[in-house]
């Protein structure tokens, strides 16, 4: 593990994200947007309450967790390899995560 605190931080951001998403479904009768989190614009019943703000904030926290986890994984690939472990000998999973 190259940066264990970064890994812990990425993991510890997921429960607050999930709890905010669950709380947002109970405030003001839910988010009412659908799976794309895109409110219906032609209707007059778009939702501008606190629930949509909580759900968007929850998605931002989950995104930060994902970015931290990707940085951790890439730094582990780069800094924690054997001396004869060249880029041509890296397994396919590691090289695909490193490229994407």
**Alpha carbon distance 18, 62 (integer Å):** 8
What are the tens digits of pLDDT across the range 29-87? 777 777 777 766 555 566 667 888 888 899 999 999 999 998 888 888 888 777 777 77
What letter does residue 85 receive in the DSSP assignment? -
pLDDT at 27 over 90: no
Domain ranges within the chain, ordered by starting residue: 4-99
- Alpha-helical regions (H) of the chain: 4-12, 14-24, 50-79, 92-99
- Whether the CB-CB separation of 92 and 34 falls below 8 Å is answered with no
**Alpha carbon distance 6, 16 (integer Å):** 16
Q: Which residue has the tokens 């940085």?
A: 71
Q: What is the pLDDT of residue 78?
A: 80
The structure's pTM equals 0.76
């Amino acid at each position: 593990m190259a940066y264990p605190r970064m890994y812990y931080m990425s993991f510890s951001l997921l429960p607050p994200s999930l709890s905010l998403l669950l709380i947002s479904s109970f405030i003001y009768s839910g988010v009412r947007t659908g799976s794309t989190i895109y409110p219906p614009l032609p209707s007059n019943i778009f939702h501008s309450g606190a629930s949509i703000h909580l759900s968007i904030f929850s998605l931002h926290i989950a995104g930060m967790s994902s970015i931290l986890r990707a940085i951790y994984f890439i730094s582990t690939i780069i800094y924690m390899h054997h001396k004869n472990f060249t880029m041509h000998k890296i397994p396919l999973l590691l090289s695909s995560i490193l490229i994407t």
